[in-house]
C-alpha cells in the first residue's frame, strides 16, 4: 500500500494563509483595550471621532487650577495657568516667541528627539503662515464651537500631536498656538501619560485674552 504523498501548498495558499494570520494578530492587538486617544490619529479608524475626543477632553477638563501660577504676556494680551511643580523656558525664534513647559526635573523624548509636553508659540503678523503650518481641521467645526468659537482651530500634526491655534480677538494679528505632544512621548507608562494629559488639557482650556 502506497503512503499518502505530502503536497506542498501553492504560493496562493501561502499568501492567503499569511493574510489570515496577520489579520488575526492585528485584531487581537486592536482590541487589547488601548485607549483610542493614545493611538494617535494615524491609527484611528475614525478621524472625525479622534478629533472630537481631543476637543471633548479639553472641554471636560475640571481639574482645580485655583492655586496654579499664571504666565501673562501683557504686551501680547494673553495669559494661561500652569501648575506648581512645572517650569517653563522662553525662547526667541524667527517666527516669534516660544514657551516650553514640563514638570521640574523631567525630560521627555520621542526618540531620538527631545519633546516637551506642551509648547506655546506666539506668532505676530503671520495669519497666512499660521494657517499654512497648522491647517485647521474643517471636520471639527461643530465640535470646537462651544469652547473656541471663531477665534481658534485645531490641527493634527504629522507626528500625531495636536496644535490648538488661538487668534487674539482683540489683536487679530496675534496667534497663540498650544502644541500638545503628550500622545507622542515614548518611554512613559499610561499613568504618567494620563497625568500629563490632565494638566495640558487644563492649560489649553484656560487660555485667556484681554484688552491692553
Domain harbouring 163, CATH code: 3.40.1000
The pLDDT value recorded for residue 42 is: 41
| Residue 24 is assigned to a structural domain of this protein | no
d(CA 100, CA 43): 27
Residue 26 located in a structural domain = no
Q: For residues 199 and 196, what is the distance between their CA atoms, to the nearest angstrom?
A: 5
The answer to the question of residue 100 being in a domain is yes
Give the containing element (helix H, strand E) for 98: strand 96-103
Domain of residue 82, residue span: 53-209
19 lies in some domain: no
The verdict on residue 98 lying in a domain is yes
C-alpha of 22 from chain center: 30
In a domain, 146, yes or no: yes
Nearest to 39 by CA among 130, 160, 165, 138: 160
- Walk along the chain (212 residues) and give the pLDDT tens digit of each residue: 444 454 555 656 555 455 545 554 443 433 333 333 433 334 344 566 766 777 778 778 888 898 999 999 999 999 999 999 999 999 887 777 899 999 999 999 987 889 999 999 999 877 888 888 888 776 555 445 455 555 678 888 877 788 888 888 888 889 999 999 998 899 999 999 999 999 999 999 899 999 87
Give domain status of residue 198, yes or no: yes
In a domain, 183, yes or no: yes
Domain count along the chain: 1
Rounded to whole angstroms, the Cα distance separating 179 from 119 reads 5
Amino acid at each position: 500500500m502506497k503512503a499518502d504523498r505530502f503536497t506542498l501548498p501553492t504560493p496562493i495558499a501561502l499568501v492567503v494563509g499569511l493574510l489570515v494570520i496577520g489579520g488575526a494578530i492585528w485584531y487581537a492587538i486592536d482590541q487589547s483595550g488601548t485607549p483610542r486617544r493614545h493611538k494617535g490619529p494615524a491609527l484611528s479608524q475614525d478621524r472625525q471621532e479622534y478629533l472630537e475626543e481631543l476637543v471633548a477632553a479639553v472641554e471636560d477638563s475640571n481639574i482645580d487650577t485655583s492655586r496654579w501660577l499664571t504666565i501673562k504676556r501683557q504686551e501680547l494680551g494673553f495669559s494661561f495657568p500652569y501648575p506648581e511643580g512645572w517650569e517653563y523656558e522662553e525662547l526667541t525664534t524667527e517666527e516669534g516667541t516660544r514657551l516650553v513647559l514640563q514638570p521640574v526635573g523631567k525630560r521627555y523624548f520621542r526618540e531620538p528627539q527631545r519633546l516637551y509636553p506642551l509648547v506655546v508659540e506666539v506668532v505676530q503678523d503671520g495669519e497666512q503662515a499660521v494657517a499654512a503650518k497648522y491647517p485647521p481641521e474643517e471636520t471639527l467645526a461643530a465640535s470646537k464651537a462651544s469652547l473656541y468659537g471663531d477665534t481658534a482651530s485645531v490641527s493634527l500634526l504629522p507626528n500625531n500631536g495636536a496644535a490648538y491655534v488661538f487668534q487674539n480677538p482683540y489683536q487679530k494679528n496675534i496667534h497663540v498656538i498650544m502644541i500638545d505632544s503628550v500622545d507622542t512621548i515614548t518611554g512613559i507608562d499610561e499613568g504618567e501619560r494620563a497625568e500629563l494629559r490632565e494638566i495640558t488639557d487644563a492649560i489649553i482650556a484656560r487660555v485667556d485674552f484681554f484688552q491692553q
